[in-house]
Amino acid sequence: MKKWPLYIFILCSFSALGQDTAKGIYEANGRSVDYKKRQWLIGGLTAAGYGGSFLFLSQAWYKDYPRTSFHTFNDAGEWNQMDKAGHAWTTYHTSRLTTNMWRWAGIDDNKAVLYGTGSSLLYMLSIEYLDGHSSQWGWSWADVGSNFFGAALYAGQEGLWKDQKIGFKFSSSHKKYNDPILKRRADALYGSSFQGRLLKDYNAQTYWLSANIKSFFPQTGLPSWLNISFGYGSEGMFGGYQNLAYNEDGSLAFDRRDIKRYRQFYMAPDVDFTKIKTKNKVLQSVFSALNVLKFPAPALEFSNGSFKLKALAY
């Protein structure tokens, strides 16, 4: 396996340490802060985290599939693009996380955004590079485009507003399959564990763009934490393109083409936890972490050509 993504990432991570203003030791909230030490710490953690997870994926995830020469494949139509939404969501939040880490280390905002989104994109593209050398997958330009969308959504708002007026959120529920055949198929596709299903079952997931109302309309009397969110989900999927699967010998293993695959669109209120004012640093961290998830609330759903109300969308 070529290791050029790891080397580039290490260089990018540590190049930040010498390019910021020479901050040295400053006073913050009445105490001394050695930003240079913080920068070395974040650079080291970033490089170690990337390198460790990259090598882990290479050995633990890809080793069961034959390696091939680099190749591409077109999976833009799979899973009604739910997997593409997942790529964008992941890149958005890794950009947000790493940017905030560099800010904590004393890097100025513009450079922090550059390092954060750059390292996030490099990480996601490196995973795509591994896909490109696996017989099971390939380099997907649709995945790459989704990664760039997630990074651009974060970096663009930071550049334009210095704020995330539109958040990118996720929700999922543990979907039950009462039909034994469907349950076996779902277990094979998505895993049988509770946590695995939450993260992998595309039928149970929804991705949301959540806009903070007061950020766009500051004169309104609405609470500063109130958002309006627009969600996308899909149902009836038991295969990438169709509900059909074959055994290795070519015999039919699963055929439920009678189940309709359809898209779902939602509108619902939401909470921007980062807009809840508190001076408690622990709560600030908790609220920032919670902001990756859509707050459960009633929703208006449009699917199969009609509207319906859901008592709770999550």
Q: What is the CA radius of gyration of the chain?
A: 22
Domain check: are 202 and 134 in the same one? no
Domain check: are 11 and 157 in the same one? yes
pLDDT digits (tens, 9 = 90+) for 239-267: 999 999 999 899 999 999 999 999 999 99
Domain check: are 298 and 191 in the same one? yes
Domain check: are 144 and 177 in the same one? no
pLDDT digits (tens, 9 = 90+) for 42-73: 999 888 888 888 787 777 677 777 889 999 99
The residue segments making up the domain with residue 300 are: 163-314
Instruction: Say what the pLDDT of residue 198 is.
Output: 83
Mean pLDDT score, 131-150:
94
pTM recorded for the entire structure: 0.88
Token duo for residue 141: 């330009």
Token duo for residue 171: 């929700």
Residue 1: pLDDT band with limits 50, 70, 90: very low
Instruction: Say what the pLDDT of residue 3 is.
Output: 37
Domains in the chain, number: 2
Residue whose structure tokens are 């034994």: 180
Whole-angstrom Cα distance, residue 118 to residue 141? 18
Residue whose structure tokens are 């940017």: 99
Residue that terminates a domain, selected from 108, 139, 162: 162
Residue 108: pLDDT band with limits 50, 70, 90: very high
Instruction: Say what the pLDDT of residue 49 is.
Output: 83
N- to C-terminal Cα distance for the chain? 40
Which 3 state secondary structure label does DSSP give 70? coil
Residue that terminates a domain, selected from 120, 142, 162: 162
Domain check: are 229 and 153 in the same one? no
Domain check: are 143 and 202 in the same one? no
Whole-angstrom Cα distance, residue 23 to residue 187? 53
